[in-house]
């Protein structure tokens, strides 16, 4: 894998990666995010522009995620400064299978360390076995389960 560059705040490109990833998952019969929820306008309603990260290999956008400093929906009991929260991790279909998801997780860990938060936390749908295995193999530990609207999620936490 060539060197990876990470940029911040590019919601448009993040949206494009998320839409491509969602379409590829749907084509495999594993839908995750409804495409209409991935427009830049919808993403901006739920996530601050500055939280977005886009991974680049040369001039190709290959992955994205968003970092939050609080997550009242999934982690409502966490005190401020407890953790950074990772959402919307996605790898563009053209780069899948190259270990990029683990590199993106490593970048999120480094960012969490830089800000001095003791934990990196995330959630994922309880029925996403491959995603759960990725997080667990990376070192995340289950921290409970939660029902949020129609979604049953598993909470994961990693001590950084």
Give the ranges where 1-128 is alpha helix by DSSP (H): 11-27, 40-46, 100-115
Taking the C-alpha atoms of residue 54 and residue 116, their distance in angstroms, rounded to an integer, is: 22
CB atoms under 10 Å from CB of 99, counted, come to 11
Under 8 Å CB-to-CB from 104, ≥6 apart: which residues? Answer: 53, 55, 63, 64, 65, 89, 91
- 122-138 confidence digits (pLDDT tens): 999 999 999 999 999 99
- CA torsion through residues 109, 114, 119, 121, sign: negative
Domains defined along the chain, listed by start:
5-117 (3.40.630.30)
* Report field, pTM of the whole predicted structure over 0.85: yes
Which pair of tokens denotes residue 114?
A: 């830089």
Taking the C-alpha atoms of residue 115 and residue 96, their distance in angstroms, rounded to an integer, is: 29
- 52-105 confidence digits (pLDDT tens): 999 999 999 999 999 999 999 999 999 999 999 999 999 999 999 999 999 999
């Amino acid at each position: 894998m060539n060197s990876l560059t990470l940029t911040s705040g590019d919601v448009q490109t993040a949206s494009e990666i998320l839409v491509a990833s969602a379409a590829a998952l749907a084509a495999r019969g594993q839908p995750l995010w409804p495409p209409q929820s991935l427009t830049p306008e919808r993403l901006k309603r739920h996530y601050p522009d500055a939280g977005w990260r886009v991974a680049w290999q040369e001039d190709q956008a290959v992955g994205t995620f968003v970092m939050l400093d609080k997550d009242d929906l999934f982690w409502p009991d966490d005190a401020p400064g407890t953790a950074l929260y990772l959402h919307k991790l996605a790898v563009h279909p053209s780069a899948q299978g190259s270990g990029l998801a683990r590199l993106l997780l490593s970048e999120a860990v480094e960012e969490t360390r830089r800000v001095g938060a003791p934990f990196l936390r995330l959630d994922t749908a309880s029925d996403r076995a491959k995603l759960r295995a990725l997080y667990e193999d990376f070192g995340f530990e289950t921290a409970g389960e939660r029902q949020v609207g129609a979604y049953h999620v598993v909470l994961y936490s990693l001590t950084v």
